[in-house]
Amino acid sequence: MRIIDRYITSSIAFVFIVTTLMFSLLYILIDSTSNLDEFIAQKVGLHIILQYYVSYLPVVLVQTAAITCLISVLFCYSNLNNHNEIIALRASGMDFWRISRPAICFAIFISGLVFFANEKFAPVAQAHAQKIRDEHLILEVDREKKKTAKINYLTYYGFKNRLYCIDMYDPNTYEMEGITIHEYDDKLQLKEKTLALRGKWTGIAWKFYNVHVSRDSDTEGHDPQIKVFPEKLMDIKESPQDFLRQSLNVNSMNSSQLYEYISRFSKSGALRAINNLHVDLQEKIAKPFSIIVIVLAGLPLALMVGRRKAQTFTSLAIAIALAFLYAIVNSVGIALGKGGFLWPVAAAWLAPVTFTGLAIYLIKTKFT
């Protein structure tokens, strides 16, 4: 590595570490202040509070890595501008890509770390922090409300190789709506499909209403058998509590686990729920690349020579504006994907592709 590369990389790394610590401390300060009444009401010990925030730190670092990396890069290059070092580098014959190479390499390195953390640490940390919060930090009233909140698009794999896809499950009344049950044989071939408009727990069994039961064609080639029941007591071994324990938390799964989950339930027929899971999967894959894209979009603005006194504040403003715009575009893309207006891949990659185009436009406009 050449001296200039080491110099720029070390400067970016130093600012990145300082900014990361500041963001972490700021998050702890804001969150602890907002939850102070809960800490006092629940008489939570200091060791529990420390354990909660230490557990949540990997999630905070992953969530803030993009804006932290962008601020570090822009701050470093703005400082080079303040001392006329950018002018000297360009006068020596270095083009945009040569000057920005340390920043791009650093962004790629951080992107790889974020992807690794997302796969190995963040999901476990998210689940552990949520468990601590549920057990120690949430007021009893709020804990009861959470237990009795309605669950939408519940998927459950139960006894007899049955896959349950439920549009709505009410844990207060033990009622279901929009029920689809796929039963598979030992070779995972669909054997029976049950559709029901709604269902209710009677205390000893599940009773379904407006039930359609269809059996697959047998080995002799007979047509599928379809039976209709106005109401039917179901041979289902699962209790209401079993369905409650199966509520899916995408944040506690890494991309490989989520992919296996989608593959397992891809034939369930719950198209909307599966589509939403595909969008979540693509978002997990695309998220680390946002660091590279957003840094690449900010670099042309940082390398433009302007008034030196305003350069540092301008870089911070650019970083905040770019991160804000990126978050908006990404949120719109995810919403369109889950609404069915975009393919999951297009929804998750809308922001990275858009800002990559913006970066290419700025580089061509300002440095060619």
- For the chain, give every domain's residue range: 3-132+282-367, 149-247
Helix (H) or strand (E) holding 367: helix 350-367
Burial of 69-92, coded b for 16+ CB within 10 Å and e otherwise, reads bbbbbbbbbbbbbeeebbeebbee
Report the C-alpha gap between 284 and 292 in whole angstroms.
15
Helix (H) or strand (E) holding 200: strand 190-201
Helix 271-286 to helix 308-338 angle (10° resolution) is: 160
Count other C-beta atoms under 10 Å from residue 145's C-beta. Answer: 11
Helix 3-34 to helix 96-120 angle (10° resolution) is: 40
Helix (H) or strand (E) holding 306: none
Count other C-beta atoms under 10 Å from residue 226's C-beta. Answer: 10
Q: Which two tokens stand for residue 90?
A: 């360009």
Q: Which two tokens stand for residue 277?
A: 């899971």
Type of residue at 96: F
Please, which residues bridge with residue 170 across strands?
175
Q: Which two tokens stand for residue 348?
A: 């998750």
| Whether this model's pTM surpasses 0.85 | no
CATH of domain 149-247: 2.60.450
Over its length of 368 residues, how does the chain's per-residue pLDDT go in tens digits?
Answer: 578 888 889 999 999 999 999 988 988 888 888 877 777 777 777 888 888 888 878 888 888 898 899 889 888 888 887 777 877 887 888 888 888 899 999 999 999 998 888 888 877 777 777 777 767 666 554 555 555 568 887 877 777 778 888 888 888 888 999 999 888 776 767 888 899 999 999 988 999 999 999 887 554 555 567 889 999 999 888 888 777 765 556 666 778 878 877 776 665 556 677 788 889 889 888 988 999 999 988 888 777 655 555 555 666 777 788 888 999 999 999 999 988 888 999 999 999 999 999 889 888 887 76
Residue 53: C-alpha distances to residues 47, 58, 228, 309 (Å): 10, 10, 54, 38
Report the C-alpha gap between 325 and 27 in whole angstroms.
21
Report the C-alpha gap between 362 and 177 in whole angstroms.
52
